[in-house]
Structure 1
Amino acid sequence: MTGREQFETDLSDIKEDIMALSNASVDALRKAIDALYNQDLNLANSVIDEDKRVDKQEHAINDQTILLIARQQPVATDLRRLVISLQITTDIERMADNAKNIAKSTCHLGQDHRLTIHPRIKEMRDMAINMNETAMRAFQYEDVSIAGKLSAMDDKVDRLYERIVSDLLSETATNPEKIQYVMQMAFSARYIERFSDHITNIGESILYLVKGESYKLN
């Protein structure tokens, strides 16, 4: 195998590892919201525990990427591709952190709180997961037309977040004794909104990779 062929193989391995890390962050978000709706503290705690594994995976990808840069000393697009891989990995790890924080909100509320979880938080989660699928497809194929769709998708998440917060503020006004509940719901919605913001960061990284210029999608 030539040096170039080995480089392409190593680069492909890094890309696959990044996509696996992305799947782990989405799985964490899905479980965290399920735990919130079902008052499932065991599931919430498993999300918190598994975040350590995501952190280890992030470190492993970073080490692998830095080693490849040091060994191959790439230039131009090859170097940009590896630097972008580091940035995307960081965003994915922070996405998982937001899922972990939702799980912590579930733990704060505890079991048998007899409160109704805002029905649109699950809708917001599904929108974020759809965004991530779009981002990973753009990453896999280095497709700027797909990455560009993330801006409008993020706007929809933001609007839904604003609507949820508005609903929660109205509930606080009429039921001030529910302030702890309202706070945890607002935090959870905010964590999903931040999850989505990191996905738009990934889209921006892909645009920079392909075009060599910085773009703002958020």
Structure 2
Amino acid sequence: MIDNMMNELKRSVLSYASFVKDMMNKCIEGLSKRDSKLLLNIINDLEPYANIKELEIDEYCISSIAQFQPKGKILRQIIMSLKINNDLERIADHAVNIAEAGLELFKYPLGVVSEEIFSMASFANSMFEDAIASFSYEDSDKATSVCEQDDNMDKLNEKIILNFLSVPVNSVEEKSTALSLVLISRNLERVADLATNIAEDVYYIATGKVIKHKSSENL
């Protein structure tokens, strides 16, 4: 019976991860196509559902611990699933932040997302997908690989922000556009941080050892 519970928990977390990944993909599509309707769908429809799913998985984990009183690796899997569930909800929040910044950006003719940011988005999504794949297969090597990529993402974010700051801005439109692009870049970097958190949790599930790349408490 406990095996059935664990299988259902893993299925639920993977399903939730797939939903959040779809939110991120729609964010990038919305930015690419300047599709305000798609970005509003993320904010008004998808994000509330993401919040509901997080609570459902939290409740399932807590009730499973109360019912089965697991120990060892099974308890480790449940606790880490709780943490991963929370990180997935936070990624959904960052998708909303990106969508909101995109809507602000689209108010102005100059509001075009740079190729650098799209490259950053692709990098963040790849880290997220690899982190979830590592969870699906309890693959500690893939989890380690995700953690090792995080520094590169930080450097890319820093480079993009410095590039924005080096360009003179004079009008309100230019300032608003620059701010929106910085916010998008910053939130993509946070998505990568959370993907790293997930990978760290997977490593702990698979090996029982703790690796901490960085803290993201201030996200």
Task: Kindly provide the amino acid, as one letter, of the partner of residue 179 in structure 1.
Answer: K
Q: CA deviation at 1:134?
A: 1.3
Q: CA deviation at 1:111?
A: 4.2
Provide, for residues 8-57 of structure 1, a one-character-per-residue CA deviation record: whole Å limited to 9, x for no partner: 11111111111111111111112112222332211111011210101111
Q: Specify the SS of the correspondent of 2:210.
A: coil
Task: Kindly provide the amino acid, as one letter, of the partner of residue 16 in structure 1.
Answer: R
Q: CA deviation at 1:110?
A: 3.5
Match of 1:8 among 3, 9, 27: 3
- Name 1:128's counterpart in structure 2: 124
Task: Kindly provide the amino acid, as one letter, of the partner of residue 169 in structure 1.
Answer: L
Moved over 3 A (4+): none
Work out the percentage of aligned pairs sharing the same amino acid.
28
Contact 1:30 1:125 in 2 (8 A): no
Determine the C-alpha separation between the residues in 2 that align with 1:176 and 1:152. 39
- Name 1:64's counterpart in structure 2: 60
Q: Specify the SS of the correspondent of 2:111.
A: coil
> Number of residue pairs matched?
211
TM-score under structure 2 normalisation? Answer: 0.91
Contact 1:121 1:189 in 2 (8 A): yes
Contact 1:105 1:188 in 2 (8 A): yes
Gaps of 5+ in 1: 1-5
The answer to which of 135-144 and 182-191 deviates more is 135-144
Correspondence 1:106 to 2:102: yes
Correspondence 1:90 to 2:79: no
Gaps of 5+ in 2: 215-219
Determine the C-alpha separation between the residues in 1 that align with 2:113 and 2:71. 51
Match of 2:170 among 149, 172, 176: 176
Provide, for residues 80-105 of structure 1, a one-character-per-residue CA deviation record: whole Å limited to 9, x for no partner: 11011000000011011101100111
CA-based RMSD: 1.4
Residue pairs, 1:1-218, within 5 angstroms:
6-49=1-44, 50-111=46-107, 113-171=109-167, 173=168, 175-177=169-171, 178-218=174-214
Contact 1:102 1:187 in 2 (8 A): yes
Determine the C-alpha separation between the residues in 2 that align with 1:76 and 1:156. 35
Determine the C-alpha separation between the residues in 2 that align with 1:59 and 1:198. 18
